[in-house]
Amino acid sequence: MLPVTPYAFPAAHKLPDGARNPRDGARGIRNLPGPILLAAGIVSIALTLTAAGYGELLWSALCGLTGALCLHFGISLTVVEQRRIKAAKAQDTAYRGDI
């Protein structure tokens, strides 16, 4: 059996454009919970309007509360991710001396 090494590619190996390096780890993962919560909030608000149109006050209140919470947390997560990316870019340019 071959020994397992931590790096599958030698340092001189170039990956094709658009391919992810396995050494990147979680750095390449983008913010998915924020947009997913935003979409769920919009769908829930649509369900609120539909339930209110049918006269179901309990369901419309429940969907309205769910929609408001999803929109609130989706926007919050998206803003936090954008600030994190902006801070990382500023730190990266300051480190390289590009300013």
pLDDT tens-digit readout, 49-71: 999 999 999 999 999 999 999 99
In this structure, is the dihedral angle defined by the CA atoms of residues 30, 33, 39 and 45, taken in order, positive or negative?
Answer: negative
Which amino acid appears at position 33 of this protein? P
Q: How far apart are CA 23 and CA 25, in angstroms?
A: 5
φ/ψ of residue 29, rounded to 5: -80, 130
Locate all alpha helices (DSSP H) within 5-56, ordered by sequence.
33-53
Rg (CA), the chain: 22
Question: Taking 80 as the threshold, does the pLDDT of residue 20 lie above it?
Answer: no
